[in-house]
Amino acid sequence: MPPEPSERIVLRPCSVQWQKSLEELVVKRQIEIGALEVFLRYYEDISILLKTKRIAITGAPATGKTTLSAALESLGYPVFHEQAREIIQQSLDDGTDILPWKDLNAFTEVVWQLRNEQYSNAVLGKINFYDRTNLDAYAYLIKGETQLTEQWSKELEQMHFDAVFFLPVWHEIHSLDKQRMETLEDCIEVDGFLKLAYREKGYNLIEVPRVSVEERVAFIEAHL
């Protein structure tokens, strides 16, 4: 039985003001959702950056840096290898003077640019190891009584390493070759300048003990 006329429900169209308020609410929610998505993407990017580490491995020539770097790389760590030996060999092959004992500035300029590229190419979200950095180049400049250029100084200040592992001079494994011409006495001197350069820039050096490469890797992983 149909309801009495007085009981019938009358459907009235929504007011213009109500429709406008609803539209504004929908737009507001869309903006909030969009902002949240942007924030979450930003947070994810920041999280990856925070997990990215740059670890320096330094020390005088013939202290085991190359062997240690290769061992770390075999475990899956991104490793940026020393390139000075290749530059020296190329210069010797070409008969040029881009050698640290002939033209320190020219040699440093080549090494510096390559190490800048290595620094920029860190694998995001990973622990990256660097076999020497531009702080090593700075140490050699101090040793050679050569000033940093204004550009080098600026770039050095922009670099940051999360830890620095220092390999001390090791008499028993010291050796010479065509690219490595430093005597044991030279290495001891370089050792001192490296410590000076890194400490001047505010780094605490973690000295790696003179033990097997496996034990050195374990030591480093325990101190990350």
pLDDT at 36 over 60: no
- pLDDT single digits (tens) 207-220: 999 999 999 999 99
Sheet holding 53-59, edge to edge: 79-80, 127-131, 53-59, 163-167, 205-207
Mean pLDDT of 52-69: 96
pTM: 0.76
Q: Which two tokens stand for residue 169?
A: 């001079």
CB 130 within 8 A of CB 56: yes
**CATH superfamily of domain region 52-222:** P-loop containing nucleotide triphosphate hydrolases (3.40.50.300)
C-alpha separations of 20 from 11, 15, 59 in Å: 19, 9, 71
| Nearest alpha-carbon partner for 220 in 202, 205, 203 | 205
Chain position carrying tokens 């007011």:
15
Measured between alpha carbons, how far is 207 from 47 in angstroms, rounded to an integer? 30
Interhelix angle 134-143/150-158, nearest 10 degrees: 140
- pLDDT single digits (tens) 63-112: 999 999 999 999 999 999 998 878 888 888 888 878 888 889 989 999 99
Radius of gyration of the chain (CA): 30
> Between the CA atoms of 180, 181, 185 and 190, what dihedral angle is there, to the nearest 10 degrees?
-60
